[in-house]
Amino acid sequence: MLRRRGERLSDGRWQAAPAERNKGAILEVLQRVLPRAGLVLEIASGTGQHVVHFARALPGLTWQPSDIDPDFRASIALWTRHEALSNVREPLALDVFRLPWPLAHADAIVCINMLHVAPRAATAALFRGAAAILPAGGIVFLYGPYRRFGRHTAPSNEEFDAQLREQDPEWGLRDLEDVERAARDSGIELVETVAMPSNNFSLVLRKAA
């Protein structure tokens, strides 16, 4: 799974402009839906900009970042040290397809901008892994661009989808309704859909009791 890295800073950290733009809007939703305390697993953490922003704003939570890409894991660790955050753990190498995941328990899971740059089967794999480590009532938070009812929500999303599929036929924007069905198959229910800036959505899902 290849993702655009953005700009590499002089100290080795990666910095992506989209992460800077969307982190504030995402945080507003997370502040409302995440538990006040516990362990949050972030899947596909990327550069590390998101996790340090969230950890600074939500100090009652312990954050476990992860990424399949070793360069991103190095960047996450550098961001954590740069921000001197004690509630962010060392990043894990986590592949959603490989069960069991290298973490036995999490109180919530956050996954931002992954599904459209992953194989189609990654959606079901994500929910299978989440169901295995979350308690009843545990939250899964997803963010990214989605199609609704088989259609794109904006011309820019349609163009982005075409670019992704040109790079890899397995990539591309997922139908929100297909994501919801895949979650339900693993005992995880969609409880809220939040329209976000730039034609993105936040999906709030909860593991059934």
For the chain, list the domains and their CATH numbers. Answer: 7-207 (3.40.50.150)
Q: Give Rg (Cα) of the chain.
A: 16
Angle at CA of residue 70, ends 18 and 97, nearest 5°: 90
pLDDT digits over 90-129, tens only? Answer: 999 999 999 999 999 999 999 999 999 999 999 999 999 9
pLDDT tens for the chain, 209 residues long, are 445 568 899 998 999 999 999 999 999 999 999 999 999 999 999 999 999 999 999 999 999 999 999 999 999 999 999 999 999 999 999 999 999 999 999 999 999 999 999 999 999 999 999 999 999 999 999 999 999 999 999 999 999 999 999 999 999 999 999 999 999 999 999 999 999 999 999 999 999 98
DSSP lists the bridge partners of residue 65 as 42
DSSP lists the bridge partners of residue 202 as 143, 194
144: left (phi over 0), alpha (psi -120 to 50) or beta: left
b/e sequence 137-148, b meaning 16+ C-beta within 10 Å: ebbbbbbbbbbe
Place of tokens 């949050």: 40
Specify whether the CB–CB gap between 126 and 205 falls below 8 A: no
